[in-house]
Structure formats: C-alpha cells, structure tokens
Structure 1
Amino acid sequence: MGEFDIKIIKKLILKGKWLLSDHALERLIERNLKVVDVLTSILNGEILEDYPEDPRGHSVLILGRKDETYIHTVCGLKDDYLIIITAYIPEPPKWVDERTRGGK
C-alpha cells in the first residue's frame, strides 16, 4: 500500500484490520494509555506529519483526541493492515502544544 489517507486508516480501524506492535504495547502500558483511547483518537484524528522516507517503512503521525486529551499515534501500513507503531501524549519539551514541535 503506497499513499496514506486518513480515510483509509479509519476504514482499517473500523474493519478491525489493525495490529499493535510490541513497541506500541510497551509504550501504552508505560504511559498508562488504553488501546481503545488510541483507536478513538485515530478515528477522530488527522495526519499531522508524513514520514515517507522512514527506514522502517512509510509512516505517519496522527493527531487525535480522546475526550480532552490529545494523543499522537505513529502508524504504518503492512499488507492490508494498519500497524500502530507507537502512541503518546504530546508534552514539553518535545512538543510546545499538540501541533508544534519543541526545541531540542
């Protein structure tokens, strides 16, 4: 699958064609995030950044929300599945706000 489109990503979630990487699972546990919250944030989200040159394969950063909490999710496509690579709450110092990267 080549081109990323938020509609395709949302469709894959709704069809149940998504997988959580081991890394993502570890990060969710570490960050006290629930899988359902990440899926909800993707379903109401938008593509914030596109990483076509990622050495692990083309991926995107999705900005979404669960209630009042912003969640960033990095996803890739493999075969006809969405792979959730990692998810986190954007916070300083890496993020000024949910849309703006911080300094170093």
Structure 2
Amino acid sequence: MLKAIQDYVKYGKFLFSKHARDEMETEEFGEIKEKEVSEAVLSGKIIESYPEDEPYPSCLIYGRTSESRPLHIVCAYGKDDGIVIIITVYQPDPGKWIDFERRKI
C-alpha cells in the first residue's frame, strides 16, 4: 500500500479532504504546506493500518519534510478506483508519541 500511495503522491495524483486542509491551516505547531505533506509521504512509513475503513482502507504514515519536520498523514487508498485521499495531516505531539511512531499509553 505504501509504494502505491507514494507513487500517486509523487505524480500529484491525490486529493486533500476538507478536514485535512482545515487541519493544515490551523496546526498548532505552524501551518503545514502541501509540499511538506508530499515530502513526508515520500520519505515516510506506515505506522498504523486501518484496513476496515470505508469507503477505502487507510493508514497512518509518519514521515519528515525536507526540513526534518515530523508529520503524520492519514491516507485512504482506493486501489480499484485509482485514488489517494489525504484524510488528515498533523504534526505529532512528542508528549503523545514515542519517537513519533508509537502512541504513548
């Protein structure tokens, strides 16, 4: 799934949900740009999978921008429909994550 998502992002064949755009604009650690989302997805790895999500399976990707900013991106991938949707984007709070990859209990 990651390789397919990265290929779609690499060639600009993805969409942002309204929620993702709202989160990008109001991020508490500073606005997140579209370019940063692309960079983080392309350098990222899947840290959580949500195969039962509807209408498409989704996953949480952790990646870093070219400036080393950590980002979490939830992406839905519709293989049969040939679509990637960025559901939400945020800069993870280090108080809630271990190395930005595992949730603190």
- What TM-score comes out, normalization by structure 1 length? 0.86
**Paired position in structure 1 for 2:25:** 29
Residues 9 and 38 of structure 2 are in contact (CA less than 8 Å); yes or no, is this contact kept in structure 1?
A: yes
Q: Once the 2 structures are TM-superposed, how far is the Cα of residue 102 of structure 1 from its aligned partner?
A: 1.8
Give the root-mean-square deviation of aligned CA atoms. Answer: 1.5
Q: Which amino acid aligns with 2:101?
A: R
Q: Once the 2 structures are TM-superposed, how far is the Cα of residue 55 of structure 1 from its aligned partner?
A: 4.6
After superposing the two structures, state which structure 1 stretch, 47-56 or 63-72, moved more.
47-56
**Paired position in structure 2 for 1:90:** 92
Deviations 1:18-46 (A, max 9, x none): 00000000000011111110111001111
- Consecutive unaligned residues of structure 2, counting only runs of 5 or more, are none
After TM superposition, where is structure 1 displaced by more than 6 Å over at least 4 residues in a row?
none
Aligned residues between the structures: 99
Structure with the larger strand share: 1
SS of corresponding position for 1:33? coil
**Paired position in structure 2 for 1:100:** 102
- What TM-score comes out, normalization by structure 2 length? 0.85
**Paired position in structure 2 for 1:14:** 10
